[in-house]
Amino acid sequence: MTEPVLAIRNLTVRYGAKRVLTGVDLSLMRGDWFFLLGPNGSGKTTLLRCVGGQIVPAAGTVNIGGLSILEAPHSAKRLLGYAHPPEGLPGLLTGRQCLEVYAAAHDLPDIGSGILELAAQLRLTPALDQWVASYSLGTRQKLSILLALIGNPALVVLDEAFNGLDPASALVLRRELQQRVAERRCAVLLATHALDSVLRHGTRAGLLLDGALTRAWDAQELDALRTGDPGALEAVLAEAARECAA
Amino acid sequence: MHSPLLAALRLETTNHLRAWYLHGRRIRMWFAIAMIAAAVAAVIALATQFAPVLLRVVAPHLLTVNVLVALQASVLAHWGRRKWTAIYSGNWLSTLPVSRRQCARMVALRAFLASAPLLALPPAVVLLARLCAPRSGAITSALLTGIGIATAVGVLLGWYLPAREVRHSAPALPYAAASRASAVPRLVALSRWTETQTRVWLQPRSLARLLLPAMLLVPMDSANVAIALLSLWVLAVYLLVLLRAMVQVAREGAAWLRPTSLTFYRFAWSVARRPLFKQLQWTLLATVLLVALGCQPLVAARVAEWWLALVSVTSGIALSRAYQSRAMRLRLLVSVCAMAVLERFRQHLALPCALVISAWHIREAART
């Protein structure tokens, strides 16, 4: 049996006295496109930040390719592509310089033709030599995703990655991710509220409510939802939220 | 390529300088340089007046001064380490495969660069005092040696002092006052914002832990004086951070509330009311402490007057320029220079001058 790309076990995170995540378990293999769903404040971003090693959990483990993000961060992060929030990108670097820094960190000889081609498809090439401070939200978002894809990471982590993107760019990026997933080059973990994307691209999905993964859908269940009522997933989410509140 | 963290810092710095050179007009650049030179001249002019007094106050308390310097260095090192560790564990470079050692080196470098001007301040003041009072060679030499050793010890102490983990909670949480559930429209939150920001930056719990060894280190025979000096230092840090926090809140608050129908006068009054009152209150206490330390009442009053003038002019300019979304540094520099020049010709003009400048800026902002 092959090693999961991402293995989260019993993850618990507290902000002071407040418990944000409680006993979350999740395992992703190459070829999985996992959609993390949940209302605002349910802990989606916190979970992703734990995967990125930015938050140290109160309990539990996060392993990427069998390597602990806390005990062997250097090796684990070699397998990780993490799209940072667009507002966190450095305003005083050009897009190309950001890509260069990321390529150097991954010990790549250059940025890579694949990434530059993708930048061209996203119509980002003219902006690459301008300062990030001059970028619009959508342009920053594109750069953030490109940075996450540098070095063909085995795990791509995206938080609301398609917000602010024009439809054409969103389509290009979805196709790119779909291709990587279909070729089993990586697993994608995406937190989102866009339920249509879940049905179109998702191989698995999970609902995070009050810090706990309360409901999960595998490929068969998602297939059933695809062929059935298009509003079924929305109804299931609303029902789950009501149950949790009750 | 070396460390990607270092590469990013180098690129950011060169780009920043390039942006400044390309986008700032040459004439403005020369004007800025001239203003900086004028500010340095103003500082030297003020130093000639205050240096002998300063030396007279600190001469009997060399050890206490060294303890204070060590305390300041340890606070700066401690805060710098906490701040930059938090930044590098959450910024756009945090998810890169970078070794812990590289990250620690980067944190040390950034913390040192950020605190270098403040670390250099005590020896600079002593050197300036030596230049202004040539007969004080022995005392200034002893001070400089002591300050050097104290800074090194303080930095090491602050760096290796175990920090309370901030990773499980947002740093602001312990310092934010719980608000009552209320639906009444009022602007009181604006006036408390600056104080909350000050507490978040000051981290009073860390400060208290650093103060304890400092209190134990001061010589017992001059305990009262030492405690007064320590208190004065804490007050000075608090007043500085409070002023800096008000500038920050003016900027953030203006960006947030400018598109609303809130008038500038209400905005400015709400933001500035409480911090200005606190400044006045604690400056008075600092003046009393200065007098208790042996400073002449008139000189202590002048120091207080100068500080209040600086607070007044900074607040007025920060609030008005932030509301107009314009830069404030150059205006502030020009204003302080003007105040220093006026003070040279006639004493006690700094505060009225600052109030006039402040009022003019506020009126200008209200008009626009």
Closest CA relative to residue B5, chosen from B81, B80, B76, B97: B97
B223 to each of B66, B213, B215, B218, B312, how far by Cα in Å?
14, 14, 9, 7, 35
Q: What tokens does A48 get?
A: 């992703």
Q: Is the pLDDT of residue A125 over 80?
A: yes
Res. A8 pLDDT band, cuts 50 70 90: very high
What are the chain A neighbours of B16 within 8 Å (beta carbons)? Answer: 92
Q: Catalogue the E-assigned strands of chain A.
A: 6-15, 18-28, 33-37, 59-64, 67-68, 80-82, 155-159, 187-191, 204-209, 212-217
Residue B348 has phi, psi (to 5 degrees) of 65, 25
Name every chain A residue with its beta carbon within 8 A of the beta carbon of B165.
56
Across the interface, whether the CB atoms of B7 and A73 are under 8 A apart is answered no
Total beta-carbon pairs less than 8 A apart between chain A and chain B: 84
Among A84-93, A137-146, B126-135, B205-214, the minimum mean pLDDT is found in B205-214
Q: Among A52, A53, A90, select the one facing B8 at the smallest CB separation.
A: A90
- The residue-averaged pLDDT of A181-188 equals 94
- Residue-wise DSSP of A13-34: EEETTEEEEEEEEEEE-TT-EE
Q: Give the one of A16, A78, A84 whose C-beta lies nearest to B92's C-beta.
A: A84
Q: What percent of chain B has pLDDT over 90?
A: 25
Q: For all residues of chain B together, what is the average pLDDT?
A: 82
| Distance, C-alpha A171 to centroid of its chain | 16
Give per-residue pLDDT as tens, B229-247: 778 888 988 999 999 999 9
List, as own/partner pairs, every contact residues B180-189 make where C-beta atoms lie below 8 angstroms and the sequence separation is at least 24, other chains included.
B187/B262, B187/B266, B187/B270, B188/B270
Of the partner residues B16, B19, B92, the one whose CB lies closest to the CB of residue A88: B92
- A13/chain B closest Cα distance in angstroms: 7
pLDDT at A181: 94
Q: Please name the residues in contact with A132: beta carbons below 8 A apart, sequence gap of 6 or more.
A: A89, A90, A91, A92, A93, A94, A95, A98, A140, A143
Contact B311, B351 (CB under 8 A): no
| Best A13, A14, A54, A78 residue to mutate vs chain B (most B CBs within 10 Å) | A54
Option in A14, A97, A102 nearest B168 (CB): A14
- Percent of chain A, pLDDT > 70? 98
Enter the pTM of the model. 0.78
Flag whether residue B145 sits within 8 Å of chain A, measured between CB atoms: no
Does the beta-carbon distance from A82 to B12 stay under 8 Å?
no
Start-end of H helices in A29-112: 44-51, 73-77, 95-105
Would you say B51 and B133 are in contact if contact means Cβ atoms under 8 Å apart? Answer: yes
Partner-chain residue, chosen from B15, B92, B174, that has the shortest CB–CB distance to A92: B15
Inter-residue contact B99 to A74 (CB < 8 Å): yes
Mean pLDDT is highest, among A47-56, B18-27, B160-169, B189-198, for: A47-56
Highest-scoring range by mean pLDDT, A101-115, A133-147, A213-227 = A133-147
* Gap between the Cα atoms of A102 and B276, Å rounded: 46
Kindly report the nearest CA distance between residue A100 and chain B, in angstroms: 9
- Indicate the pLDDT class of residue B221, thresholds 50, 70 and 90: low
- Read off the tokens for A135: 């970028």
Q: Are A138 and A169 in contact (CB under 8 A)?
A: yes
A203, A31 Cβ separation under 8 angstroms: yes
pLDDT tens readout for residues A33-45: 999 998 888 899 9
C-alpha distances out from residue B352 to A25, A105, B136, B308, Å: 66, 56, 34, 10
Mean pLDDT within B62-84: 86
Mean pLDDT of A123-131: 92
Whole-number pLDDT of residue B108: 93
Report how far residue B12's alpha carbon sits from residue A92's, in angstroms, rounded to the nearest whole number.
5
From A75, which residue of chain B is nearest by alpha-carbon distance? B97
Closest CB from A49, A82, A104 relative to B4: A104
Q: What is the mean pLDDT of residues B312-331?
A: 90
Tell me how far apart the alpha carbons of residues B310 and B339 are, in angstroms, rounded to a whole number: 9
Interior/surface letters B137-162, b for 16+ CB within 10 angstroms, e for the rest: eebbeebeebbeebbebbbebbbebe
Q: According to DSSP H, which parts of B89-203 are helical? A: 100-132, 137-160, 188-202
Q: Across chain A, what does the average pLDDT equal? A: 90
| Cα distance between residue B172 and residue B149, in whole Å | 34
CA dist A179 and A118 (Å) reads 13
Using DSSP's 3-state secondary structure scheme, residue B315 falls into helix
Best residue in A45, A102, A135, A150 for a mutation probing chain B (most B CBs within 10 Å) = A102
* CB proximity B255 to A under 8 Å: no
* pLDDT of A123 over the 70 cut: yes
Rounded to the nearest angstrom, the minimum Cα separation between A56 and chain B is: 7
Which of B3, B92, B164, B166 is the best mutation test for A, with the most CBs of A within 10 A? B92
pLDDT tens digits for range B33-59: 777 787 777 777 767 777 777 777 777
3-state secondary structure of A211: coil
What is the rounded distance in angstroms from the CA atom of residue B60 to the CA atom of residue B82? 35
Count how many Cα atoms sit within 13 Å of the Cα of residue B233 in the half-sphere of its side chain: 24
pLDDT at B171: 44
- Work out the angle at residue B338's Cα, subtended by the Cα atoms of residues B333 and B344, and round it to the nearest 5 degrees: 130
Best mutation target among A11, A75, A84, A89 (most B Cβ atoms within 10 Å) is: A84
pLDDT beyond 50 at B334: yes
Write the DSSP assignment of B288-314 as a string of letters: HHHHHTT--HHHHHHHHHHHHHHHHHH
What distance in Å separates the CA atoms of residue A217 and residue A34, rounded to the nearest whole number? Answer: 9
Set out the domains of chain A in order of their start, with CATH numbers: 1-79+153-159+192-246 (3.40.50.300)
| Whole-number pLDDT of residue B178 | 53
B94–A54: do the CB atoms touch at under 8 Å?
yes
Residue B135: alpha-carbon gap to chain centroid: 31
Residue range B77-119, pLDDT digits in tens: 988 998 899 899 888 998 898 888 889 999 999 999 988 988 8
Contact B168 A84 (CB under 8 A): no
Nearest to B125 by CA among B201, B74, B72, B202: B72
CA distances from A131 to A43, A126, A127, A128, A174 (A): 32, 11, 8, 8, 26
B 75-94 near A (Cβ less than 8 A): 89-94
Q: Please state whether beta strands A18-28 and A33-37 pair in parallel, antiparallel, or not at all (unpaired).
A: unpaired
Cβ contact, residue pair A16, B168, below 8 Å: yes
pLDDT band at B311 (very low <50, low <70, confident <90, very high): very high
- Count of alpha carbons within 13 Å of B52, Cβ hemisphere only? 9
A224 within 8 A of A58, measured Cβ to Cβ: no
Look at residue A98 in the predicted model and tell me its pLDDT.
92
